Structure 1
Amino acid sequence: MQPEQSHMQHMRAIMVLGLPLIGSHLAQFAVTLTDAIMLGWYDVEVLAQQVLGGMLFFVLFIMGSGFAWAVMPMVAEAESAGRITEVRRVTRMAQWLSMLFGAAAMPVFWWSAPLLDLAGQQPAVAQGAQDYLRIAGWAIFPALVVMVLKSYLSALERAQVVLWVTVAAVGVNILVNYALIFGNWGAPELGIRGAAIASLAVQGVSALALIVYAALVTPEHALFQRLWRPDWEAFGAVFRLGWPIGITNLAEVGLFGASSLMMGWLGTLPLAAHGIALQITSAMFMVHLGLSNAATVRAGRALGRGDLPGLRRGGKVIIAVSAVMVTLTVVLFVLAPEPLMALFLSPDDPERGAVIVIGVGLLAAAALFQLVDAAQVMALGLLRGVQDTRVPMVIAAFSYWAVGVPFSYVLGFPLGLGGVGVWLGLAIGLALAGVFMMWRFWRISLPRLSAAQAA
């Protein structure tokens, strides 16, 4: 067993792994962010269409990512324990499961307008969202491949390449958007369809780049040789760990998706303001998501070594780092909400002032739930690192849907708080999840591992 690391050694290891992961999540998010900014400058109603279409894509994509995220703790533990063959088997079967999920998602994208109509959205907005998804929906296949390979490379602590590939993708997305949304450089003006084409192209190029890198840099794992051959034992192992992660992801993003639907009931301007405010808060959340992924990898490696004191100490350090980032985020939301909202709107847009006023109130509510949102995602990262995913799934489903969604509706509509009430309901659901999941890790999972190791 390796000597126990100090708090500073844990901090250094977390930063070496966590900073590229944070950067890659921010860069990946920037692809969606640039779509929102550029479509907001193109037309506010088109932005509302992309908010709905992007929401539906993200809900299904993040659910399907459960199998990819299962790769991270499984590969981290296997590699740390010297089980190299298991690394290959797990990663291959995660690609199988991801492609199967993508195929199941495509009909939802193709016929999304009737679904959005049933959800009470305005017909023109629902139709525009479907136009977007009939192109961008195909991106779920390369996007899920990217997620599998990101998890694989992160577990091997090779996260830097993921960062640089994703940063390059942002640049490509901006250029293609500029050409196809607005009709620049002789290209046709395609509006929302142009943004969809750009997203599909960017995901395809990113997947190809990571496939080439993984094949060249980790040839010992032979990830893409005989990829068509099934490995049912590994398939089952990834499925058992991954489906609860996918449902947990679905419960959380579904919570925010439900909030988007409720904001759509309030009208196009509140929905556009919600979309912008959600982009801003999601960008800040990427920091905590990157730290959560680092927590998963570090916990998985500690588990593989049988180093429970290191697991406990590392957990405390990474939670402290997240708390510092939360403080900075709250200060930003409280002191500079108007400039943040204004980034997404053309100065000449006649609705600019109304959208900003609505958005400022939403960011004030968002400042309240930054702490609890960070707490729940950090707890999830640690729990996944020790491969505890089923009870957290139940906690998430209960907290977000039995508590968060009803509170959002009651505060937003019967009590008349509007969009701010919807967002306060989100905060209540996230707070409950954060408390329960932290309790689960420190009071249940760690003692159970200690007892198993002592036996």
Structure 2
Amino acid sequence: MTGKVLPLGLPLAIGFVAQLAISFTDAALVTRLGARELAGVTLALSVFSMTMLFGLGIVTAATPKLAAAHRSRDTGAVRTWYVQGAWLAVLVGLLGTAVLWQTRDILTLLGQSPSSARIAQRYNTGAAVGLPFFLLYVNARGLLTGVGRPKPVTWVMLAAVPVNLGLGCLLTFGAGPVPGLGVFGAGLASTLVRALVVVAVTAVLLGGGFRELALRGARLVPRPAMLLDLARVGVWIGARILLGEGFLPVLAFFVARFGADATTAHAIGLRLESLVVVFALGFSGAATTVAAWARADGDWRALRDLRSSLLLIGLVYSLGLSAVILASSGFTGRVVFGLHEPKAEGMLHKLVFLVVAYFVVDTLITMSMGYLVGLSDTRLPTLVVAAGYWVVGLGTGVLLSELTPLDFYGLWLGVITGGCVIAVFVFARTGQHIASLANSTTEEAPE
């Protein structure tokens, strides 16, 4: 089973890293405009990321449908689900664009300064229209993953990184007769690049390499019942992603009570964890496809082997990278993140042990959640994530930080505790699915 997961997961993981690099490129370009602009664009990217992640979750609901249809050799169903996923991407993307056009009001309501909110609005005014294009890319990636051939979208996304850099430089700073547009130009560049990505991926899908899907003959008609089916499952996926991804940033408000040095250490720990766990998202996508294939085949052994493979890959990746992070924590703090305050550096040195512990747990959760998405099991996992992080994790963290000498480290211990609760649930839940499929297969077998 590992032989199935790795060829699917590695290209997807590389694609996620490339996708993250586009946002980092925008931030790096804006740094040259000044500290105020960087602060504003950082806020803009936060709003954009939350909106994007929710939309990504909704559109991801099409992936198991596409994978199951492909496994059943029903190319008509593949085309239909792909078209409905595209319609969903456009509809959700347009709603998200409307939200992003209100970035200034959202940030002002959250207590950010008017000047930073205005800068954030300028960036997202340029970037907002790129959201529907991004979600169309997500739908196409789901199709290629579902048919077991994700490499083309990875190559397209890798090519998009230098294109975004060049176009971003041109539109942000200008060149010759072309005037620079500042932060609006950086956002506009990302929109244009995402549109180019969709054009490139569409060309790949309509080319000779995927002739068997006959996408040229697809009927571009929305089917409300199918759209509602996807939305019903996808909203829970989007909510689960927001609840999980948003927890650590919100925790910063509780960490702030322990001083600026603790806040700095927490911010670096948060950035470090988000950078290293993104690779696991690729294997989460692979797990979605393989789980959908196994259910379509009625193969409970494949589901069992998939769980074992995810556990093995997750532990090898997270423990190996954790050892590297621990060995290079001093270099990472001083050189990569520019940390020079002795007290904050000492706090980070202690915190990094908790960061890697959470990284191991979070990696296993991320991969296994993809497994459950492949089985369209989304509602209960979302509720458990909400309870695990926001009730158990936050509650335990606050108690440990207030009632023990652990200070802000207690908050991270609470996060790890909540993560462990979720990880245990996911392991048990996947076991239930394996047993259920095994029982149904046994009952259907001829005597």
TM-score (norm 2): 0.86
In the alignment, what sits opposite 1:396?
385
Distance 1:46 1:264 in 2: 23
Contact 1:41 1:344 in 2 (8 A): no
SS at match of 1:353: coil
In the alignment, what sits opposite 1:371?
360
**Aligned to 2:106, which of 99, 111, 115?**
115
How far is the alpha carbon of 1:30 from its aligned partner? 1.4
Distance 1:267 1:112 in 2: 29
How far is the alpha carbon of 1:331 from its aligned partner? 1.7
Counterparts of 1:177-326 in structure 2, within 5 Å, are 177-181=168-172, 188-216=179-207, 217-223=209-215, 228-259=220-251, 277-326=269-318
**Aligned to 1:451, which of 429, 439, 445?**
439
Counterparts of 1:2-401 in structure 2, within 5 Å, are 10-40=1-31, 43-181=34-172, 188-216=179-207, 217-223=209-215, 228-259=220-251, 277-341=269-333, 353-354=340-341, 357=345, 363-401=352-390
2:433 maps to amino acid: S
Q: Give the stretch that moved more between structures: 277-286 or 149-158.
A: 277-286
CA gap of 1:226–1:304, structure 2 versus 1, over 3 A, is closer
Contact 1:263 1:271 in 2 (8 A): yes
Distance 1:234 1:445 in 2: 24
1:334 maps to amino acid: L
Distance 1:36 1:363 in 2: 25
1:317 maps to amino acid: S
Distance 2:262 2:179 in 1: 30
Q: Give the stretch that moved more between structures: 119-128 or 11-20.
A: 119-128
How far is the alpha carbon of 1:448 from its aligned partner? 1.6
How far is the alpha carbon of 1:164 from its aligned partner? 0.5
Contact 1:57 1:133 in 2 (8 A): yes
CA gap of 1:111–1:326, structure 2 versus 1, over 3 A, is same
Contact 2:44 2:124 in 1 (8 A): yes
How far is the alpha carbon of 1:155 from its aligned partner? 1.0
Q: Give the stretch that moved more between structures: 197-206 or 360-369.
A: 360-369
Q: Give the stretch that moved more between structures: 109-118 or 88-97.
A: 109-118
Contact 1:90 1:235 in 2 (8 A): no
2:367 maps to amino acid: M
Distance 1:446 1:43 in 2: 54
Distance 1:329 1:421 in 2: 24
TM-score (norm 1): 0.85
How far is the alpha carbon of 1:159 from its aligned partner? 0.8
2:356 maps to amino acid: A
In the alignment, what sits opposite 1:434?
423
How far is the alpha carbon of 1:338 from its aligned partner? 4.4
Contact 2:298 2:437 in 1 (8 A): no
How far is the alpha carbon of 1:169 from its aligned partner? 0.8
How far is the alpha carbon of 1:198 from its aligned partner? 2.4
Q: Give the stretch that moved more between structures: 188-197 or 321-330.
A: 188-197
Deviation sequence 1:291-328 (CA, Å, 0-9, x none): 11111111111222222112211220222011111012
Contact 2:125 2:184 in 1 (8 A): no
Distance 1:339 1:194 in 2: 34
Measured on the aligned residues, the alpha-carbon RMSD in Å equals 3.2
> How many residues are matched?
440
How far is the alpha carbon of 1:419 from its aligned partner? 6.9
Distance 2:48 2:256 in 1: 17
Structure 2, unmatched stretches of 5+, are none
CA gap of 1:125–1:48, structure 2 versus 1, over 3 A, is same
1:210 maps to amino acid: V
Once the two structures are aligned, what percentage of the paired residues are identical?
A: 27
Deviation sequence 1:380-429 (CA, Å, 0-9, x none): 11112222222112112222333345556677799898876655544343
Distance 1:219 1:272 in 2: 53
Contact 1:120 1:265 in 2 (8 A): no
Contact 1:44 1:272 in 2 (8 A): no
Distance 2:178 2:9 in 1: 40
CA gap of 1:207–1:279, structure 2 versus 1, over 3 A, is farther
Q: Give the stretch that moved more between structures: 100-109 or 333-342.
A: 333-342
Distance 2:272 2:100 in 1: 25
Distance 1:132 1:22 in 2: 27
Q: Give the stretch that moved more between structures: 10-19 or 203-212.
A: 10-19
Structure 1, unmatched stretches of 5+, are 1-9
Contact 2:300 2:435 in 1 (8 A): no
In the alignment, what sits opposite 1:7?
none
How far is the alpha carbon of 1:156 from its aligned partner? 0.8
Q: Give the stretch that moved more between structures: 83-92 or 148-157.
A: 83-92
CA gap of 1:178–1:362, structure 2 versus 1, over 3 A, is farther
CA gap of 1:404–1:21, structure 2 versus 1, over 3 A, is same
CA gap of 1:336–1:177, structure 2 versus 1, over 3 A, is farther
